[in-house]
Structure 1
């Protein structure tokens, strides 16, 4: 990977005055994203033959991100995931949120982090380039208590590692669960669906969902089910499975996996044999939602093709809002003055 030569960060104005940033390293890896929603629009990495191709879903036209109902590439918060009945309790007080999916609250609602313009500050170090994004979510907006100051940093290094660092602090007790909602497809330029992506997850348990995709309260063992990725298997196995939980979410996965050990380490490995690409995910988050795009809106014009089910897979590393009902899993509650500090690293390589 050698000596630093041309690590660069550039920016340009695009639709509606949004700024698009481009990070590039010596290996030719390129990450592009917007200050609007912190949306990652493209990640170009080499295949086994050195060919650079995009490995995330992104719209063909930047303007389409203004109606990003599938959260392509977006930062999600203040709480990623579904909050049952759009309400939660802290210190004996109930806070009611916007009901934006049936009777529930999903991904921060209409004022969620995926559609605000973040303040952006580019930076360079000896071996990295990146951008620090900051935003204040004011107290009471959509019912959330506390002024929440958030910083999310995107960093690219010389080893084809793309790091997302999340920081937050509130002046009142509140709830926080931040993640990124990129849809990955390692085949490159949408040449195939994710059926033949082989995934390994350091997880022994997952959370059962009901018909509304709300946790039932049951934390189930993965052993003996299509949810056992401990030794790795193809996503196609679960997409085609008759297991009740795969069928419930529309034939595939949209489930929260609890990591065996929440310490910062490699928790997920993804490989795509045709291109030879690999992606390792390291994080100190307690788990992640894996979503195989079972209900991706079809027919959207994307860079490289048209959207359809199973065209990408999300690895949403985060704590789960199910913890508002379950005291057996890591909590999304954040005490006043407490610092929320999480990190996820996506490192790309080849077989």
Structure 2
């Protein structure tokens, strides 16, 4: 790599058509470090401290670019144009039916067959100041994956404190459309190559309700369900795996936790979740201004692919905490709206704040 102390940039790989995939490294204090690649605007590595003074990578993914090309698993990726699911890949917009490609059983998932996670983003700006940052952009053409409207997306990763990563996203359109973006990092706070499941990670989610789902992971009719008295209640921190094997229809539908928690943010940044690893003592707090948080316990990781260090990635090897608008919202007028009109700006702000357990 060539560059300065706070930011460095190099070549991470090449696409089959010869285009270059860049990697940008942002550094905080000590060994805190975030590595971003331009393919999918992916968080390729996130190096965070532990309670003994060591540092390790805490996000799943691949050491080399070939792994990201070979399998679409959303490791660390920016997901769009619509994160999560849309029932039957279909919605009504201004009286016209929009039919998206379906790629998850009967539903459209994470932007369709060729979403933002598979696109090469452009490096628009690098800020090598006290709060190092990189801004990436992508232009989604009208009709891409059948979504209406050209969408201009701007995303900034910034080190905003010694061990804190801020993610800000904006989008603008030239005609009415829908938009719902998120980052899809898979976290294991014991370390990406530790081989330790996240079932004993302590989890707190600052929500009172969640969305019950059908067997295809589409929210059921009716209002959100209260968490009290269910295996989904993480209002007080407890291990992820403490109740994950209970005989509960919603756990069966999700094959574990794969549900949206209703945050009710009203566009204000606030604490949404706290994750703590018992052995390393690493703590991650997630703050967001989004109305929902998808809590996913890695249920579909099946050991068929190898990740960093050549280790097979298996069920419950990681936890995803994905802030976004609620799934299937284009078909649910009672849900927060994903609609974006010309002249409006879609905004998303999420902060990942790392700390260690006090001795």
- Is the shorter-chain TM-score for this pair beyond 0.5, marking a shared fold? yes
Q: Residue 323 of structure 1 corresponds to which residue in structure 2?
A: 329
8 A Cα contact 1:238 1:253, kept in partner:
no
Residue 205 (str. 1) matches residue 176 (str. 2): no
Partner of 1:214: 218
Most deviating of 164-173 and 19-28: 19-28
Report how far residue 273 of structure 1 moved: 1.9
Q: Does 1:131 align with 2:137?
A: no
- 1:270 pairs with 2:275: yes
- Which residue of 274, 281, 287 maps to 2:286? 281
Alignment partner of 1:209: what SS?
A: coil
Q: Retained in 2: the 8 A contact 1:198–1:233?
A: yes
2:11 alignment counterpart: 13
Q: Tell me how far 1:238 sits from its aligned partner.
A: 3.5
Work out whether 1:290 is the aligned partner of 2:295. yes
Say which of 150, 155, 158 aligns to 2:158.
155
* Structure 1 residues 40-79: aligned runs within 5 Å: 40-79=43-82
Counterparts of 2:343 and 2:236 in 1: how far apart (Å)? 40
Structure 1 segment 208-247 matched on structure 2, within 5 A: 208-218=212-222, 219-247=224-252
Secondary structure of 1:65's counterpart equals: helix
Deviates more, 1:35-44 or 1:260-269: 260-269
1:149-171: per-residue Cα shift (whole Å, max 9, x none)?
Answer: 00111111342110110100111
1:347 counterpart = 2:353: yes
Aligned residues: 345
CA contact (8 A) 1:70 1:296 kept: no
| 1:58, distance to aligned residue in structure 2 (A) | 1.1
Kept in 2, the 8 Å contact 1:197–1:271? The answer is yes
Q: The residue matched to 2:92 in structure 1 has which SS? A: strand
Q: 2:174 & 2:302 partners in 1: Cα distance?
A: 38
Which 10-residue stretch deviates more, 170-179 or 316-325? 316-325
Structure 1 partner of 2:98: 95
CA drift at 1:340: 0.6
1:8, CA displacement in angstroms? 1.2
Asked if 1:185 is matched to 2:195, the reply is no
Q: Is structure 2 residue 343 aligned with structure 1 residue 337?
A: yes
Conservation of the 8 A alpha-carbon contact between 2:12 and 2:37: no
TM-score w.r.t. length of structure 2: 0.92
TM-score (norm: length of structure 1) = 0.95
User: What is the alpha-carbon distance in structure 1 between the residues aligned to residue 243 and residue 334 of structure 2?
Assistant: 26
How far off is 1:126 after superposition? 4.0
Q: Tell me how far 1:69 sits from its aligned partner.
A: 2.1
Kindly indicate whether the alpha-carbon contact (under 8 Å) linking 2:115 and 2:145 is maintained by their aligned counterparts in 1. no
1:101 deviates by: 1.7
Partner residue of 1:36 out of 39, 54, 64: 39
Among 160, 168, 189, the residue aligned to 2:171 = 168
Q: What residue ranges of structure 1 are gaps of 5+ in the alignment?
A: 1-5
For residues 29-57 of structure 1, give each alpha carbon's deviation from its aligned partner in whole angstroms, at most 9, with x where no partner exists.
01112100011111011100111101000
Aligned to 2:27: 24
SS in 2 for 1:14: strand
Match of 1:3 in 2: none
CA distance in 2 between partners of 1:143 and 1:261 (Å) = 30
Cα RMSD (Å): 1.5
| 2:261 equivalent in structure 1 | 257
* Cα distance per residue 1:250-308 (max 9 Å; x no partner): 1x211010014442111111111211100011110011111111011413221142200
Task: Give the match's secondary structure for 2:208.
Answer: strand
Runs of 4+ in 1 over 4 A off after TM superposition: none
SS in 2 for 1:225: coil
TM-fit CA distance, 1:322: 2.3
- In the superposition, relative to structure 1, how do residues 238 and 122 fare at CA in structure 2: closer, same or farther (>3 Å)? farther
Question: Which residue among 108, 111, 114 is the counterpart of 1:108?
Answer: 111
Hey, what's the Cα distance between the residues in 1 that align with 2:235 and 2:334?
22
